[in-house]
A and B are shown apart, each in its own frame.
Chain A
Amino acid sequence: MNLLTDPVGASHFMAVGAVMFVCGVVCMATKRNGLGILMGIELVINGANLNFVAFGSEFLRRNPDYALGVDGQLIALFVIVLAAAEAAVALAIALNYYNNRATIDVDRADELKG
Chain B
Amino acid sequence: MDGHINWHSFYFLLFGLTACVFSVAVVLTGSIVRMAFYLTLCLGATAGLFFLAGAGFVGAMQLLIYVGGTLVLLIFGVMLTAQGPFVNMKTRAGEWVIGGAAGLMLLGLLLQAAFRVEEWRGPPEGVATATAENAPPGEIGIRMLGKPGDNGKAVGKESGYLLPFEIVSVHLLVVLIGSAYLARTKRRRRASDPAEST
Taking a contact as CB atoms under 8 Å apart, the answer to whether B182 and A96 are in contact is yes
Tally of chain B residues near chain A (CB < 8 A): 100
Interface of A is mostly: helix
- Residues of B close to A34: CB separation below 8 A: 81
Q: Select A14's contact among B50, B98, B120, B171, beta carbons within 8 Å.
A: B120
Residue-by-residue, is B132-164 near A (CB-CB < 8 Å gives 1, otherwise 0)? 000100011001100001010110000001001
Chain A CB within 8 A of B41 CB: no
**Minimum CB distance partner of A69 in chain B:** B153
**Minimum CB distance partner of B76 in chain A:** A91
- Residues of A close to B89: CB separation below 8 A: 31-33, 36, 105
The 7 A-B pairs with the shortest beta carbon distances in the complex, nearest first, are A9-B122, A18-B110, A14-B114, A92-B182, A92-B183, A92-B179, A59-B130
Chain B CB within 8 A of A77 CB: yes
**Minimum CB distance partner of B165 in chain A:** A78
Taking a contact as CB atoms under 8 Å apart, the answer to whether B70 and A42 are in contact is yes
Taking a contact as CB atoms under 8 Å apart, the answer to whether A89 and B140 are in contact is no
Interface of B is mostly: helix
> In the complex, A67 Cα to B65 Cα: how many Å?
26
- Residues of A close to B106: CB separation below 8 A: 21-22, 25
Tally of chain A residues near chain B (CB < 8 A): 83
- Residues of B close to A14: CB separation below 8 A: 110, 113-114, 120
Q: Select B122's contact among A39, A40, A62, beta carbons within 8 Å.
A: A62
The verdict on A89 contacting B179 (CB below 8 Å), with A5-B5, A29-B99, A61-B123 known, is: yes
A-B contacts, 30 listed (Cβ < 8 Å): A3-B9, A6-B9, A7-B125, A13-B53, A15-B111, A19-B24, A21-B106, A22-B110, A25-B106, A27-B27, A33-B32, A42-B70, A43-B26, A59-B123, A62-B118, A64-B123, A69-B149, A69-B153, A73-B140, A77-B61, A80-B66, A81-B168, A82-B168, A83-B66, A92-B182, A92-B183, A95-B183, A96-B182, A98-B80, A105-B89
